[in-house]
């Protein structure tokens, strides 16, 4: 056991504790100190991820309360460098620091692949140094001052200074303490003097980096980090869908947010580009580790952006499962969303397993009614019980809040033998009164409960010629709207039905709407016609830039394949503008 071991201070670096021990025992020599501390003369005086810590913990007096895991978590930079690593890699790194097998540890963590290297000098804060000297009579090296990307003190927001302790000059087996000689007040700052706006950004980055040492995030796998960042990008409006990011807008807004700060941070920029294209890769699928500084910058950027008000309303959201008895009326705390044909779809998943969606039409801004997607484990026992009780199909549908056809499908998927006859049920679905119900007012949506209680005999018959004329006029207006979209959108029956929020309504009644069908036959675009329209649109867009238009640029802009190059070249050759060059 060590006869003497100095007390340690909050936020102190293990390197600093061992250096002060080296001074207090009278500087017996590096090799003797290593023998005393670790029982091994080959231990390297590493400041960030040291090894042989189990041997050190065994030699520290028990009254210090320094277990090997406490040393790793509170006196080294392990929490920072492994904050975003998978749980398995975190444990392997901890084992390596316990045993001393730290050779190539930075390579195993993926840190050597980044241009952000370790600091070449120990750093200190002049304000912290004055406070340490007046309160405790000695100085020490702080952990958060040695983190890459930390250029200002997280506590005092002043620029850090480079000490005289260079790892290229001192012996790799020697610990150097923080003193007034190694931390002179006239030392060179870690970064040039910056304005207040840059200093504010640097202070936030320093605080976030320092927080990783005390409270690192919960361990996540690489796939979970991918999901996390994509959901954040979607939440702040920088994603086109759950898997497609708006990279160009993201790049521009990230640069505008940080400004000149990006040039001050180590190896973040390479000329005018992001070093190694790290910014775009952070919101792509994570296949390898990313440097903690990249995570800090991205999370700080996302945290400072204002969250737009969700068109699906502020949570929590209700669960519409009729079989679940929730204590809370709104048990759904979060939801996911994606895009489908220009519309935004919200997917709401409850802890009971019930999942439903709501569609927000991007053109009209209207929020559709909830649509069933998945029932969960509560369905099967109740459905079996209803089938065994010989309950009618429509009664089962009302009990479960489902369409009768959906009940038949779910029973088939669960392997439940039913006595209902789907063929007879399908015939009943095609009777005239039900068609008349939906034709009375196509723009209105009657709930199943209301439509089931009305008397069929009291309903008026539809004036189909009048409905046909109205639909032809309404579709004519929508065709002009779709045709004016930029970028172009193909005019199809399905697209027009989506705009009207009545999917499948027209084609199911095509035999009653002859004028409407004749109009659609004239305006609906074929694939070839739509491709030609996209080609002309792409040429106009490229000409606005003032450069020569090339065939491959038109192909990429229009989203076509190389088989369209012949048509594109023919169009460019026939163009009267000599500035266009097909190549």
pLDDT digits (tens, 9 = 90+) for 39-68: 888 888 888 999 999 999 988 888 788 899
* Cα–Cα distance measured from residue 156 to residue 127, given in angstroms and rounded to the nearest whole number: 7
pLDDT tens sequence for the chain (583 residues): 566 777 788 899 999 988 888 777 665 566 667 788 888 888 888 889 999 999 999 888 887 888 999 999 999 999 999 999 999 999 999 999 998 888 888 888 887 777 788 888 999 999 999 999 999 999 999 999 999 999 999 999 999 999 999 888 877 888 899 999 999 989 999 988 788 999 999 999 999 999 999 999 998 999 999 999 998 998 888 988 778 899 999 999 999 999 999 999 988 998 889 998 999 999 999 988 899 999 999 999 999 988 777 778 877 888 989 988 886 778 888 788 787 777 888 899 998 899 999 998 877 778 888 999 999 899 999 999 999 888 889 999 999 989 898 999 999 888 888 887 654 444 444 443 333 333 434 444 444 444 444 454 545 677 888 888 888 888 888 888 888 888 898 999 888 888 877 777 888 888 888 888 888 888 888 998 999 999 998 888 888 877 778 888 889 888 888 888 888 888 888 866 544 444 4
Question: Same structural domain for residues 350 and 430?
Answer: yes
* Cα–Cα distance measured from residue 337 to residue 64, given in angstroms and rounded to the nearest whole number: 52
Residue 310 falls inside a structural domain: no
Question: Same structural domain for residues 92 and 32?
Answer: yes
Residue 125 falls inside a structural domain: yes
Q: What is the pLDDT, as a whole number, of residue 43?
A: 86
Residue 397 falls inside a structural domain: yes
Cβ atoms < 10 Å from Cβ of 313:
11
Question: Same structural domain for residues 21 and 159?
Answer: yes
* Cα–Cα distance measured from residue 59 to residue 556, given in angstroms and rounded to the nearest whole number: 67
Question: Same structural domain for residues 136 and 21?
Answer: yes
Residue 191 falls inside a structural domain: no
Question: Same structural domain for residues 486 and 547?
Answer: no
* Cα–Cα distance measured from residue 542 to residue 548, given in angstroms and rounded to the nearest whole number: 8
Helix 68-75 to helix 14-24 angle (10° resolution) is: 110
Residue 581 falls inside a structural domain: no
**Model pTM score:** 0.61
Question: Same structural domain for residues 483 and 347?
Answer: no
Domain coverage including residue 508? 464-526
pLDDT tens-digit map of 548-557: 788 888 898 8
Q: Report the number of distinct structural domains present in the chain.
A: 5
Q: State residue 416 phi and psi, 5-degree precision.
A: -95, 120
Question: Same structural domain for residues 426 and 478?
Answer: no
Question: Same structural domain for residues 241 and 383?
Answer: no
User: CA-based diameter of the chain, in Å?
Assistant: 106
Question: Same structural domain for residues 501 and 565?
Answer: no
Question: Same structural domain for residues 135 and 109?
Answer: yes
Question: Same structural domain for residues 407 and 469?
Answer: no
Residue 483 falls inside a structural domain: yes
Q: What is the pLDDT, as a whole number, of residue 459?
A: 55
Question: Same structural domain for residues 403 and 512?
Answer: no
Give me the count of residues in the chain. 583
* Cα–Cα distance measured from residue 567 to residue 171, given in angstroms and rounded to the nearest whole number: 71
Residue 436 falls inside a structural domain: yes
């Amino acid at each position: 056991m060590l006869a003497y071991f100095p007390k340690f201070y909050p936020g102190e670096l293990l390197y600093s504790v061992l250096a002060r021990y080296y001074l207090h025992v009278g500087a017996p020599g590096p090799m003797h100190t290593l023998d005393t501390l670790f029982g091994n003369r080959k231990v390297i005086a590493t400041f960030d991820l040291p090894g042989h810590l189990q041997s050190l913990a065994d030699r520290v007096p028990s009254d210090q309360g320094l277990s090997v895991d406490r040393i790793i978590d509170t006196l080294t930079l392990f929490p920072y460098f492994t904050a975003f690593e998978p749980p398995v890699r975190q444990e392997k790194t901890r084992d390596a620091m316990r045993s001393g097998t730290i050779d190539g540890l930075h390579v195993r963590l993926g840190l050597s692949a980044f241009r952000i290297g370790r600091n070449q000098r120990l750093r200190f804060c002049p304000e912290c140094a004055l406070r340490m000297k007046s309160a405790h009579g000695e100085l020490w090296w702080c952990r958060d001052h040695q983190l890459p990307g930390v250029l200002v003190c997280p506590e005092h927001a002043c620029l850090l200074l480079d000490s005289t302790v260079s790892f290229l000059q001192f012996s790799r087996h020697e610990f150097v303490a923080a003193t007034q000689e190694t931390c002179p007040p006239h030392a060179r700052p870690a970064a040039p003097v910056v304005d207040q706006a840059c200093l504010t950004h640097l202070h936030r980055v320093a605080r976030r980096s320092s927080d990783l040492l005390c409270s690192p995030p919960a361990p996540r796998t690489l796939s979970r980090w991918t999901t996390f960042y994509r959901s954040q990008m979607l939440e702040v409006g920088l994603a086109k869908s759950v898997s497609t990011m708006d990279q160009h807008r993201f790049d521009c807004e990230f640069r505008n947010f940080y400004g000149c700060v990006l040039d001050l941070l180590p190896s973040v920029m390479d000329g005018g580009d992001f070093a190694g294209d790290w910014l775009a890769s952070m919101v792509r699928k994570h296949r390898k580790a990313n440097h903690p500084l990249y995570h800090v910058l991205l999370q700080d950027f996302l945290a400072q952006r204002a969250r737009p008000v969700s068109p699906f309303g502020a949570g929590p959201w209700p669960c519409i499962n009729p079989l679940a008895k929730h204590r809370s009326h709104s048990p759904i705390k979060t939801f996911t969303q994606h895009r489908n044909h220009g519309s935004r779809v919200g997917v709401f998943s409850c802890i009971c397993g019930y999942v439903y969606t709501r569609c927000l039409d991007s053109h009209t801004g209207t929020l559709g009614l909830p649509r069933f997607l998945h029932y969960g484990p509560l369905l099967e026992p109740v459905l079996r019980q209803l089938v065994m009780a010989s309950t009618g199909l429509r009664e089962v549908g009302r009990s479960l809040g489902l369409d009768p056809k959906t009940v038949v499908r779910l029973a088939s998927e669960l392997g439940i033998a039913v006595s209902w006859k789907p063929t007879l049920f399908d015939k009943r679905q095609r009777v005239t009164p039900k068609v008349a119900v939906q034709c009375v007012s196509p723009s209105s949506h009657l709930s199943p409960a209301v439509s089931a209680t009305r008397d069929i005999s009291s309903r008026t018959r539809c004036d189909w010629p009048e409905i046909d004329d109205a639909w032809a006029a309404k579709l004519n207006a929508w065709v002009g709207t779709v045709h004016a979209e930029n970028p172009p959108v193909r005019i199809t029956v399905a697209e027009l039905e989506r705009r009207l929020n009545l999917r499948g309504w027209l084609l199911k009644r095509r035999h009653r709407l002859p004028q409407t069908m004749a109009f659609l036959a004239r305006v609906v675009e074929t694939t070839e016609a739509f491709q030609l329209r996209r080609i002309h649109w792409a040429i106009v867009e490229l000409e606005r830039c003032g450069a020569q238009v090339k065939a491959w640029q038109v192909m990429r802009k229009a989203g076509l394949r190389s088989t369209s190059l012949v048509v594109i070249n023919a169009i460019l050759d026939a163009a009267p503008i000599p500035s266009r060059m097909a190549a």
